[in-house]
Structure 1
Amino acid sequence: MTNHLAGSCAAADSTAATSPASVIDETPAPRPVVAAWSAYDFGGNAFNTVMLSFVFSVYVTGTVADDPARGQVVWSNFQTAAGIALALLAPLMGAWADRVRHRRVLLAVSTLITIACMAACFFVKPDDAYLLLGAGLLSFASVAQDIAGVFYNGMLPHVSTPKTVGRISGTAWALGYLGGVVCLVGALFGFILNGGMLGLPTDEAFNVRCVALFCALFMLVFSVPVMILGPDGEPRPGERFSVVGAYREIGSRIAHMWQRERGLLHFLVAAGIYRDGLNAVFAFAGVIAATAYGFSSEEVIYFGLAASVSAALGTWIFGRLDDKLGPRPVILGSLIAIVAEGLAIVIANQALVFWVCGMMISFLVGPIQSASRTLLTRIIPPGEENETFGLYATVGRVVSFIAPALIGVFTAAFGVRWGIMGIVVTLIFGLALFWPLRIPGVTHQRA
């Protein structure tokens, strides 16, 4: 393996003597290929925003379940199982993709599994007997989609160049937020509110269940282009794939990173922690808005829509800065600003401040996520992009308990509005780990 990163997690400054090897193609990909790759992000957020965050998960835990408390417990247990499954499968699937090289086929299969699970949610009726089915389908779909994300992210080096990777990644991530907005608005006004504009019957929550079919179709339409045009690869000659052998190689890869690529391991851990805090922003913002600041259900939806639009705009703008300044300044500056705005919300304790700072935080969440993806893309050794993104997903899952646990601690100790401090502390922890990381040729790369 290439010694593309050196340095120590414990060192004050993780530096390498030479620039890291890059897997990013030097020749620009055709525009239809870039458009197809970006469209996948647009369609994929139908699951994240509507099914997993704002609509169908709420339906399963609050309507399908006879007891909302039991529904929440069942939901939590299934999501925990999904996290464990992803932690085990993501690096394995990445290693497989790096060897068989049929990245496009693997992306198509995992995406179609996600879509099929979404469509099957139509059969989840508002009866407690369907609780396990609903929670199970959504959890299985979340694992399939995250695995698809490994193959999808592995395409980024092949749809961009060193001068455009930030812009392309940021544009696609921004389109993801916009896709979530479009799909959420379509679900609310087309199906949910009073049966929606389609006038669907509300008996047995038929209109809500139809949202699952709508989201599945939405994701399918915008996923097909990359299944056809996405960059693929040729199998490595002479290499065979085995599950035992792959896990053995993954273990050796981690050991190698500790010995000779500690800077990469440093980044994976730091990014996993601060990404956990970022994920908690959208996961808990609506709950905190309703319980601490008295937002109605409609106000929470409007807040979520505004936050998504703000996030899309920020990600699109900062994608350009990523190419000019490098990903490290984007990540550092945005993390510092989010921490300051989170503290302002807690100190002020006013709904208006929550609105304003919430929009500013949303503006910066996407840029950090996108810049983290481009930073990793810039330092992946050639031929190991899928396995590395699999480890990226795994580390994120392993540390995903930190922010929710801290939110619970602060909420129990000081009250609901103090739950935000759990997010702030998680981000500070990730920021402190990321701060000393230096990657020559990447952190200050200019177009």
Structure 2
Amino acid sequence: MTDQYGPAPIGSAPLVRGLDLQRDRSVPPRQVVAWAFWDWGSSAFNAVVTTFVFTVYLTGTKGFGTTDSVSASLGWALGVSGVLVALLAPVTGQRSDGSGRRKFWLAVNTAIVVVCIALLYFVSPSPVLLWLGLALLAIGTVFYELAAVNYNAMLVQVSTAKTVGRVSGFGWAMGYFGGIVLLLILYFGFIHPDVGLFGVTSAEGLSVRVSMLIAAVWFALSALPVLFAVPEYRAPDALRRERVGFFASYARLGRDVAALWTTSRRTVWFLLASAIFRDGLTGVFTFGGVLAAGTFGFSKGEVIIFAIAANVVAGASTVLVGTLDDRIGPKPVIVTALIGLVISGLAVFVLHAGGQAVFWTAGLALCLFVGPAQSASRTFLSRLVPAGREGEVFGLYATTGRAATFIAPSLFALFITIFGHQYFGILGIVLVILVGLILLIPVAAPERTVPAAATAPAPSSK
């Protein structure tokens, strides 16, 4: 008999997993590269908008308010967006599975994010326009997460059990390296020069606002390859389900989670643990640039230079660890990375009075561990998810943590509100990661070999 943290109880029906159906399939490299280019383009939102440029512009520009008050407002806005993601992501993922329109909804949600990024151009320094900026950030975060549900579900379409770690790591690394290239373009083209390209200056935040237009175009163009190269998902006939209404989807979701508890209990426990620690991982990058500017005195240009270095470190470590993931499994990778994050985060807090040298050292150490933890978490779930329910389960995955759900932003804001100083927000993020680590430790690791799928239905790519 297995315990509640391990495989399904004896006597429960075995599940056919998405990677089971890929066992004998050879995935064309062009599909892998096209899929990863969405991650490359997503750096426009992750690195430029929510981390190193636009949020730093909001919290570091006096026209919007004090650094501490704007930082707290930012935390609450992202917290609200996280609640909306939690309510919407599992059902929208479930419905994309059933409709066979996974790629279609990836396109729609990505387009909404692109529009939100472009509209940030109109957020000039003003207390009134601060709320426009925060609203666009919150809306963009919600639809980015809904897009990521379908994007992550497609990982099973472009990988096999032997390559899922490398493919996932390649995607995450493409995101980091895309961030490097885009940040270099924005830094040397618009933000660093007194007069940038097209005569753009920093007056009224114009250099940052124009950068948002460039970022929107970057994401839109980078999202196109996956839409053309990767076939639309079609569930095998044996796995298709009757379509139900939107609200009825919540009742089905409840039944599905109950069934998942019976047939794949550790999947539920992993979703619970990752609800916590991935929220902390998101917080590291979401508030990294804000802390660099507000607590450690980095200028806008210095924040971008740090961002470039951070993306190099994160991207390189993710590529290297992706191969290790396929060899030893995702759980040892995640546990090691979370321990490293807790230690590095505490170092940033305890030694904050040491100034920029501390942030360069301990901050880059944080980046060393973030990418591998994120990538290995995605492969952990990919090795467990039932075939035909990738969107639904990755919707639950989005609900429980990725890209700024409510726990880390809210604790970041709460610690600042209680103690009155921005650097106390670091403790909120570290606490989230530590709790997630404690919850993860008892969860049984997924098997690194996939059982034969002689009775499994063949995948359809048409």
Q: Distance in 2 between matches of 1:287 and 1:381?
A: 39
Aligned to 1:244: 247
d(CA) in 2 for partners of 1:71, 1:361: 24
Does the CA contact (< 8 Å) of 1:6 and 1:14 recur in 2? yes
Q: Is 1:330 matched with 2:325?
A: no
- Please say if residues 99 and 240 of structure 1, whose CA atoms lie closer than 8 Å, have aligned partners that are also in contact: yes
**Cα separation, 2, equivalents of 1:192 and 1:103:** 37
C-alpha distance in 2 between matches for 1:124 and 1:290: 20
1:136 CA displacement: 2.1
Amino acid of the residue matched to residue 39 of structure 1? F
The residue number in structure 1 matching 2:151 is 152
State the AA in 2 paired with 1:119. A
- In structure 2, how many angstroms separate the alpha carbons of the residues matched to 1:127 and 1:274? 35
- Pairing of 1:45-64 with structure 2 (within 5 A): 45-60=43-58, 63=61
**Which residue pairs with 1:115 in the alignment?**
114
Q: Is the 8 A contact 1:311 1:362 kept in 2?
A: yes
Q: 2-side partners of 1:201 and 1:356: how far apart? A: 32
Listed as ranges, the matches of 1:121-136 within 5 Å are 121-136=120-135
Please report the RMSD computed on the Cα atoms of aligned residues, expressed in angstroms. 3.2
Q: Aligned AA for 1:309?
A: V
Question: SS of the counterpart of 1:155?
Answer: helix
CA distance in 2 between counterparts of 1:255 and 1:176 reads 35
Do the aligned residues in 2 keep the contact of 1:7 with 1:261 (CA within 8 Å)? no
**Could you say which residue in structure 2 is the equivalent of 1:188?**
187
- The aligned residue for residue 312 of structure 2 is 309
1:186 CA drift (Å): 1.5
Question: What are the Cα deviations for residues 15-71 of structure 1, in whole angstroms up to 9, with x where unaligned?
Answer: 766986431212122111111001110011111111222222343455595534665
Equivalent residue, structure 2, for 1:40: 38
Tell me, yes or no, if the aligned pair for 1:94 and 1:388 is still in contact at 8 Å.
yes
Identity of aligned residues (%): 39
Please give the per-residue CA displacement for 1:261-303, whole angstroms capped at 9, x wherever unaligned.
3311110011111112222222333444455555454443332
2:216 alignment counterpart: 216
Distance 1:308 1:66, change over 3 A: closer
Q: 1:347-384: per-residue Cα shift (whole Å, max 9, x none)?
A: 56645454333222211110010000011011000110
Could you tell me how far 1:91 is from its partner in structure 2? 0.8
Kept after mapping to 2: 8 A contact 1:64/1:125: no
Please say if 1:89 is aligned against 2:85. no
Deviation at 1:133, TM superposition (A): 3.0
**Equivalent residue for 2:280?**
277
Q: Judging changes above 3 Å, is the alpha-carbon distance between structure 1 residues 252 and 283 closer, same or farther for their aligned structure 2 residues?
A: same
Q: Partner of 2:457 in structure 1?
A: none
Q: 1:273·1:399 contact (CA, 8 Å) conserved in 2?
A: no
Question: Which runs of no fewer than 5 residues in structure 2 stay unpaired?
Answer: 452-462
Distance 1:224 1:382 in 2: 26
How far did 1:440 drift?
4.8
Deviation digits for residues 202-236 of structure 1 (CA, Å, limit 9, x no counterpart): 55444332212100111111100111122322366
TM-score (norm 2): 0.84
- 1:382-397 correspondence to structure 2 within 5 Å: 382-396=387-401
Partner of 2:364: 359
Once residues 196 and 135 of structure 2 are traced to their aligned partners in structure 1, the CA distance between those partners, rounded to angstroms, is 27
- Mapping 1:3-82, distance limit 5 Å: 7-9=3-5, 21-24=16-19, 25-26=22-23, 27-60=25-58, 63=61, 66-68=64-66, 71-72=70-71, 75-82=74-81
In the TM superposition, residue 85 of structure 1 has moved relative to its aligned partner by 1.9
Q: How far apart, in 2, do the equivalents of 1:125 and 1:413 lie? A: 30
157-166 or 330-339, larger mean C-alpha shift? 330-339
Residue matched to 1:374? 379
Partner of 1:164: 163
**More off after superposition, 431-440 vs 146-155:** 431-440
Distance 1:137 1:294 in 2: 27
Supply the AA of the counterpart residue of 1:388: V
Q: Which secondary structure does the structure 2 equivalent of 1:379 belong to? A: coil
Shift of 1:248: 0.5
What do the CA deviations read for 1:310-351 (whole angstroms, capped 9, x no partner)? 001111110010111111111112222333334445556645
| Aligned-partner residue type, residue 17 of structure 2 | S
| Map of 1:177 onto structure 2 | 176
**Does the 8 Å CA contact 2:9/2:263 hold for their aligned counterparts?**
no
Cα–Cα, structure 1 residues 272 and 365, in superposed 2: closer, same or farther, change >3 Å?
A: same
Question: Bigger CA drift: 163-172 or 424-433?
Answer: 424-433
AA aligned to 1:374 is T
Deviations 1:131-185 (A, max 9, x none): 3333222221211111000000010001001111100100110110111122122
Which position in structure 2 is the counterpart of 1:234? 234
Cα 1:125–1:394, aligned 2, differ >3 Å: closer, same or farther? same
- Would the aligned equivalents of 1:20 and 1:440 in 2 still touch at CA under 8 Å? no
Q: How many positions carry a matched residue from both structures?
A: 438
- Alpha carbons of structure 1 residues 299 and 6: separation in structure 2 relative to 1, 3 Å: farther
CA–CA distance in 1 between the matches of 2:427 and 2:71?
A: 23
- The verdict on how the C-alpha distance between 1:273 and 1:399 changes in structure 2, with shifts beyond 3 A counting, is farther
Which deviates the most, 363-372 or 84-93? 84-93
**What is the TM-score normalised by the length of structure 1?**
0.87
Segment drifting more, 299-308 vs 110-119: 299-308
1:437 paired residue number: 443
